[in-house]
Amino acid sequence: MQHDGRGPGDGMTERIVGEVEALWRYPVKSMLGERLEGMAVTERGVFGDRAYALLDHATGRVA
């Protein structure tokens, strides 16, 4: 649904603009993801998404 946060009676209407076909989470940055039936979304994004990363000790960069 599309909504701008205003309350009822403000002249705004809700309408369907699309649908979710699949939910994916990638716990480790740049690696395979996992398909989920549901997920928690926090103010920081999808819970557990990109929670970990591999560090290249030789360069100090995230792989």
pLDDT at 29: 84
**7: pLDDT strictly greater than 90:** no
Residue 41: pLDDT band (50, 70, 90) is very high
Per residue in 16-41, is it b (16+ CB within 10 Å) or e — as a string? Answer: eeeeeeeeebbeeeeeeeeeeeeeee
pLDDT at 19: 94
Instruction: Let me know if residue 57 belongs to a domain.
Output: yes
Residue 26: pLDDT band (50, 70, 90) is very high
Instruction: Let me know if residue 6 belongs to a domain.
Output: no
Total count of domains within the chain: 1
Instruction: Let me know if residue 56 belongs to a domain.
Output: yes
9-19, pLDDT tens digit by residue? 667 788 999 99
Query: What does the pLDDT average to over 25-46?
Result: 91
The boundaries of the domain holding residue 50 are: 23-62
Instruction: Let me know if residue 2 belongs to a domain.
Output: no
